[in-house]
Structure 1
Amino acid sequence: MIGKTKEDIISNFGKNYVESDNILYYTINRTWFTKGMTLSIKFDQYDRVKSVSTMKNNYTLIWHSVFDR
């Protein structure tokens, strides 16, 4: 994924993301009752993937991602 463009990532993962500070956040396996994972994809100044990381969601993160839009 490193070096891919933002458009490449969106075309592969879809438009169901949250964007903040040139980072796209995709939540994977999220339901109202399970935790799931968030994939964060950070881009450089040329909109190419700089780094990729994952984190486990807790209920607080799910609450904020759903209700703070």
Structure 2
Amino acid sequence: MLNTTCLETINLNQILNEVIQNFQELTDVSIKQQINAEVQLKMDKYLASVLFNNLLSNAVKHNKEDQPIA
């Protein structure tokens, strides 16, 4: 069924690492991740990826040149 949200427990660090890695391969922007603990969330894995992709995309677009994103 389309348009169905699939709630599951996801590892936030894993999702962020994947999204950050994709952005660093496509841009010259330095991205620093500062999550010290394992964070588990109950949410749709695809939507979490879309959310963090959008947030990082906005950060890259509005970032000052030669400044890392943290």
TM-score, length of structure 2 as denominator length? 0.30
Whose Rg is larger?
2
Identify, as 1 or 2, the structure richer in helix: 2
Identify, as 1 or 2, the structure richer in strand: 1
TM-score, length of structure 1 as denominator length? 0.30
